[in-house]
Amino acid sequence: MAATLTPAPGSAETGARIMAWADDLAVHTEQPGLLTRTYLTGAHHGAAAQLAAWMREAGMTVRRDAAGNVIGRYEGATPGAPALLTGSHFDTVRDAGRYDGNLGVILPIACVAGWHRQGRRFPFAIEVVGFAEEEGVRFKATLLGSRAIAGTFDTNVLDNVDEAGKTMREAMREAGFDPAGLPAAAHPRAQVLAFVEVHIEQGPVLLNEGLPLGVVTAISGATRFIVELEGLAGHAGTVPMDMRRDAAMAGAEIGLFIERRCGGLPGLVGTVGQFDVPNGATNVVPGRAVFSIDIRAGEDAVRRAAVDDVLAEIERVCARRNVRAQIRKTHEAASVPCAPWLQAQWADAIARQGLPVRHLPSGAGHDAMAISAIADVAMLFVRCGNGGISHHPTETMTAADAASAAAVFSDFVEHFAPQR
């Protein structure tokens, strides 16, 4: 049974209600016993219907666009006024936590509910968007909902197929959404004052510093590669150490270089998240190794310099070890800075609540990255518990932090000064 609306934005009751709503939303899952909600599945439709119901109860008019986004509009004092956009995604990874994405949708709804009960309107409209797809799990294409609103949806991905062989185009039509209507989902720039997103940090920084909230400075850009190394397989007992062309050890040396190179600068991170020795055996010198590289930074120049150094090191290591390398870039995204004028208003709202202000970058991607094509963006991070674990069922946060985030979000909106 869905819970009733909260009495006022920013109150302790609001924090408790946000946590209850997160539990209610988690009922909509494809896999009993764990949370999995991917694009345009039955669980996804159920979550969308629940969000729409909460939005209507909160005094918003609700619509779905051609991408399946759930959009609740809380009209301003003047009908048709430009809107402050907020929201996040309501799809999940497989075996997910309850707060990634979902928090950024239900928290603003709870705050709007309080203003509605007070009969309060603003000089601008507020639009809360439940972005239908961000994670890219089902069709291996990310940020579908936010790209549709930004007018940057790549229609080539409509031919992507899921594990059952169904195309995205087919799934959309079966759900009642017309892919031909995607261009109409784009929001005109003139009607968007800014976009702000509330999100769990998905990391341990705020937790380790004992802080409930933080102002995001930038969403890190990322470069990813798949590297295939080819050496020469040989018997582990008969090939002398100085004559080996060991692909795995070459990969290990490259991985350690990435750790050293990315370990000295704040905001720069490098990860070898996959490492495979195809057809490896205990008694065989590895002739092949395949591994991934993920390098991220809040500043593109810092990221590019690290990437250049890593590629140069791969060349040096392979030349010294007589190993060949094939390097395939699989992803590149520029960093998205958060607008200073919006960061300042977040910081002021935090300070007015008597909380310390902490600025930090986001190493994860977010819907705000896509929306930056049509508006200035900014983000508020909320502390995670449990070591900052996210994308996992042990992802957690507290009702007290939810209440603090709602109070700051409410304060931000109530003092929001558009920049035109």
Domains and CATH numbers, the chain: 12-219+335-414 (3.40.630.10), 221-333 (3.30.70.360)
Q: What average pLDDT does range 40-57 have in this prediction? A: 98
What pLDDT was estimated at residue 266?
86
Residue 232 in tokens: 């020469």
Longest dimension (CA), the chain: 83
Decide if pLDDT at 197 tops 80. Answer: yes
3-state SS string for the chain: CCCCCCCCCCCHHHHHHHHHHHHHHHCCCCECCEECCCCCCHHHHHHHHHHHHHHHHCCCEEEECCCCCEEEEECCCCCCCCEEEEEEECCCCCCECCCCCCHHHHHHHHHHHHHHHHCCCCCCEEEEEEECCCCCCCCCCCCHHHHHHHCCCCHHHHHCECCCCCEHHHHHHHCCCCHHHHHHHCCCHHHEEEEEEEEECCCCHHHHHCCCEEEEEEECEEEEEEEEEECECEECCCCCHHHCECHHHHHHHHHHHHHHHHCCCCCCEEECCCEECCCCCCCEECCEEEEEEEEEECCHHHHHHHHHHHHHHHHHHHHHHCCEEEEEEEEEECCEECCHHHHHHHHHHHHHCCCCCCEEEECCCCHHHHHCCCCCEEEEEECCCHHHCCCCCCCCCCHHHHHHHHHHHHHHHHCCCCCC
- From 54, 99, 35, 86, select the one nearest 401 (Cα to Cα): 99
Res. 9 pLDDT band, cuts 50 70 90: low
Decide if pLDDT at 107 tops 90. Answer: yes
Beta-bridge mates of residue 195: 85, 377
Res. 12 pLDDT band, cuts 50 70 90: confident
Decide if pLDDT at 5 tops 50. Answer: no
Decide if pLDDT at 143 tops 50. Answer: yes
Res. 420 pLDDT band, cuts 50 70 90: low
Q: What is the DSSP letter of 119?
A: T
CA angle 15, 19, 23 (to 5 degrees): 165
Res. 1 pLDDT band, cuts 50 70 90: very low
pLDDT tens, 268-311? 999 999 999 999 999 999 999 999 999 999 899 999 999 999 99
Residue 157 in tokens: 């991905």
**Do 409 and 403 meet the contact criterion of CB atoms below 8 Å apart?**
no
Decide if pLDDT at 2 tops 50. Answer: no
Decide if pLDDT at 61 tops 70. Answer: yes
Res. 10 pLDDT band, cuts 50 70 90: low
pLDDT tens, 314-368? 999 999 999 999 999 988 888 999 999 999 999 999 999 999 999 999 988 899 9
What pLDDT was estimated at residue 6?
38
- From 141, 175, 177, select the one nearest 156 (Cα to Cα): 141
Place of tokens 């998205």: 336
Q: Answer with the residue of higher pLDDT: 32 or 287.
A: 287
The whole-chain average pLDDT of the chain stands at 95
Q: Answer with the residue of higher pLDDT: 140 or 231.
A: 231
Decide if pLDDT at 7 tops 60. Answer: no
What pLDDT was estimated at residue 415?
97
What pLDDT was estimated at residue 11?
76
Res. 182 pLDDT band, cuts 50 70 90: very high
Q: What average pLDDT does range 180-205 have in this prediction? A: 97
Q: What is the DSSP letter of 146?
A: H
pLDDT tens, 362-417? 988 899 999 999 999 999 999 999 999 999 999 999 999 999 999 999 999 999 99
φ/ψ (deg, to 5) at 80: 85, 5
Residue 278 in tokens: 């195809």
What pLDDT was estimated at residue 3?
40
What pLDDT was estimated at residue 4?
39
